[in-house]
Structure 1
Amino acid sequence: MNQNQRFLSLDVFRGLTVACMILVNTPGSWAKVYGPLLHAKWHGCTPTDLVFPFFLFAVGNAMSFAMKKFNTMSNGAVVGKILKRTALIFAIGLFLNWFPFVKYDSEGNFVLKSLETLRIMGVLQRIALCYGIGALLIHFLKPKGALIVTCIFLLGYWAILWFLGGNDPYSLEGHIGLQVDLAILGESHMYRGEGLPFEPEGLLSTLPSVGNVVFGFLVGQYVQQNRHAKGMLLKLVMAGSILIVLGILWGTVFPINKKIWTSSYTLYTVGIATLLLSILIYLVEMRGWRRGTYFFEVFGKNPLFIYVMSGVVVKLYFLFRIGEKNENLYSWLYNHVFQPVFGDYPGSLLFGIFHVLLLWLLGWWMDKKRIYVRV
């Protein structure tokens, strides 16, 4: 690998993650989704449960390249830059939660969406907090210190849940993070997809998710510093395998769970991400394999923007009502186009694939115009 060459395998890894995010978030019907494309109901880990932690890992990986310029800046300037980026990503997440700012009332009229029920947290908000905390730890404590603090986060989170979570600390109702979010965010500002106010991107569970960013940084730094070293890739594969085993073993007492982002889940997903990135480094950087990589590069060059646009497109669908049944455009497309032609489950899957391709076209156009949105 050339020292000055763009880290193409990272773009591919990041692009693959964004494409999968879009696919799992836009099925034609949530009642007709193949099992691997659904999150685990509670404990456990499906392929879909790997997508978000992979994105955080990619954020850390990219930081290992971007943070080099911090060495020439004052600490004040670095903190300002990190906090500004954190606040901007968080604000974009809030914007996406509120968008399109209006909704239908019970009589079918447009009314303004109330800020009193605006969900505060979300995917982008967690990305923002994990980036901000991870970047500050790495800059001020250096990678070794950041790793130590990450281990404290992982062990401390386990201890907090165990000692403060009651008789069933890893359940939905017993999770202490629920009480933290209720106290700080408030019931009206939390996610309700679990049948009660519960925040899967909660404040307390952000601590172990920082680990995905820090480990991603360490892997990226290791690859850069040892790109020509003999056995580099083997060591990376061994590290990923060890983390997977540790995650599984820890999971016997601290179950692997995305919704409360357990520490075992962090180790397990980091291990799998490390193995996948190792495969991509071998194929793309070492063997020079380029066949099919451009599809994922397109997503990887504008990841946050394309992810945000995927949410914007879906939310706009729900503003348009069609036909006598007054269906929203999202349901109408599935019920009148994809389901009749392809059937229930295949139609639902192809609906998601259609949106992956639609967003890819946007990314392709941006790449051809050399438009890269940096936050």
Structure 2
Amino acid sequence: MSSTLNNRLISLDAMRGFTIAGMVIVNDPGSWSHVYAPLLHAKWNGATPTDLVFPFFLFIVGVSIALAYQKRLDQQVDKGPLVKKIFIRSLKIFALGIFLWLWPKFDFGHIRWAGVLPRISLVFLACALLFLYTDWKQQLKISIGILVGYWIIMAYIPIPGIGAPDLSVPEKNWANFIDYKILPGVLWQKTWDPEGILSTFPAIVSGITGMLIGRIILDTKDEFKKLSWVFFWGWAMLGLGNILGWFFPINKHIWTSSYVLYTSGLAALSLAAFILIVDILSIKKWTQIGRVFGANAITSYVLAGMLTLVFYRDIFGDSGLNDMFMETMTGIGFSPKLASLSYAIIYMFIIYIPAYILYKKKIFIKV
């Protein structure tokens, strides 16, 4: 591969960064009352472009694990210190998630223990340990077992006090039931959480699919064959996800098995496109935003969460900066939805400024 940096694909860094930029844009509109439909999550079954962002990041986590740890396995390093570092990193990411939830009031009586960063930490932990102690065939079998088992549990096993699962409503499934009974703290949807306990298992498979694609990238030396295999398996997962969706609906909120395959397929296809354009054709200028955010992905995400204190709170009077922006833009003729999207994009570029400074100074904060 013509453009690798410290065993990292520039294409993967760019894709990671664009995914973070997408997270910031969909999480931070000018007004939640005025958002274009593709920038909202599907209400229940189905998927919008916004529903691709999180699983894309977990897929990238899996690819990154393969690229980062295979060299160490080849060197036959002691796994003990690696495992310790994996647990420490996972705890750091989890703690950052709790910190963002508490920020800025730090009300320890109302903690949401689930969330985006806690799920990333658990997926990273599970996938990294699996990569160290299993081969790709075992990882594939584990993935199939989780996806099939989750399908059976969610679609066919009766729920105590409820009866047969009904996947057309949020309250009649095992993920909801377990979250309500077991998950402590604040639940995002009152009685269940989209990053809850049971749905974390198929989310782990989103990471494993990335590890399997990473294995293809590492083992296939010929660039054309590498690209072809990533592209092929992307289409295969996308097709299987759509077919399974006829029986087990594509649903981000409960991270259904069809959703895993559907989003991992699209993620693999996207990575194939990035590899072709960035690593093979060496067309890189347009990827700067992605490479900047990708170099400090978690840091950029956390910073975006923290700076909402300034850009979304009413610390300047009766309304926040976003409210003042919306009033100004709609007052000069912008549609409310376009004004809201414009604010989200501007906010993304505000986060880009410190990320760019870190990138230029070659400061890479390892969480």
Distance apart, 1:168 and its partner CA: 3.4
Distance in 1 between the 2:94 and 2:182 partners? 17
What is the TM-score normalised by the length of structure 1? Answer: 0.90
Distance in 1 between the 2:287 and 2:4 partners? 19
Question: What is the match of residue 85 of structure 2?
Answer: 81
Distance apart, 1:319 and its partner CA: 4.5
Kindly, what percent of the aligned residue pairs are identical?
Answer: 36
Distance apart, 1:317 and its partner CA: 3.9
Question: What is the match of residue 28 of structure 2?
Answer: 26
Distance apart, 1:230 and its partner CA: 4.3
Distance in 2 between the 1:319 and 1:4 partners? 42
Query: Of the candidates 113, 121, 139, which is equivalent to residue 114 of structure 2?
Result: 121
Query: Of the candidates 306, 330, 334, which is equivalent to residue 339 of structure 1?
Result: 330
Following superposition of structure 1 onto structure 2, how do residues 137-216 of structure 1 map, counting pairs within 5 Å?
137-162=130-155, 163-165=157-159, 166-170=163-167, 171-186=169-184, 188-192=185-189, 196-216=190-210
Distance in 1 between the 2:187 and 2:72 partners? 36
Distance apart, 1:259 and its partner CA: 0.4
Give the letter for the 1:365 counterpart.
I
Question: What is the match of residue 348 of structure 1?
Answer: 340
Question: What is the match of residue 281 of structure 2?
Answer: 287
Following superposition of structure 1 onto structure 2, how do residues 1-375 of structure 1 map, counting pairs within 5 Å?
1-2=1-2, 5=5, 6-71=8-73, 72-100=76-104, 102=105, 113-162=106-155, 163-165=157-159, 166-170=163-167, 171-186=169-184, 188-192=185-189, 196-228=190-222, 230-323=224-317, 326-335=318-327, 337-341=328-332, 342-375=334-367
Distance in 2 between the 1:357 and 1:183 partners? 41
Distance in 2 between the 1:241 and 1:247 partners? 10
Residues 353 and 4 (structure 1), Cα distance of their counterparts in 2 relative to 1, 3 Å cut: closer
CA contact (8 A) 1:314 1:330 kept: no
RMSD: 1.8
Per-residue displacement from partner, 1:72-95 (whole Å, max 9, x unpaired)?
432332321211111110011000
Residues 258 and 61 (structure 1), Cα distance of their counterparts in 2 relative to 1, 3 Å cut: same
CA contact (8 A) 1:169 1:176 kept: no
Q: Gaps (5+ residues) in structure 2?
A: none
Distance in 2 between the 1:215 and 1:122 partners? 21
Distance in 1 between the 2:364 and 2:117 partners? 18
What is the TM-score normalised by the length of structure 2? Answer: 0.92
Per-residue displacement from partner, 1:33-61 (whole Å, max 9, x unpaired)?
11111110100011110000000011111
Distance in 1 between the 2:135 and 2:228 partners? 25
How many residues are treated as equivalent by the alignment? Answer: 357
Give the letter for the 1:15 counterpart.
G
Per-residue displacement from partner, 1:231-254 (whole Å, max 9, x unpaired)?
332222121111111001100010
Question: What is the match of residue 105 of structure 1?
Answer: none
Classify the secondary structure of the residue corresponding to 1:373: coil
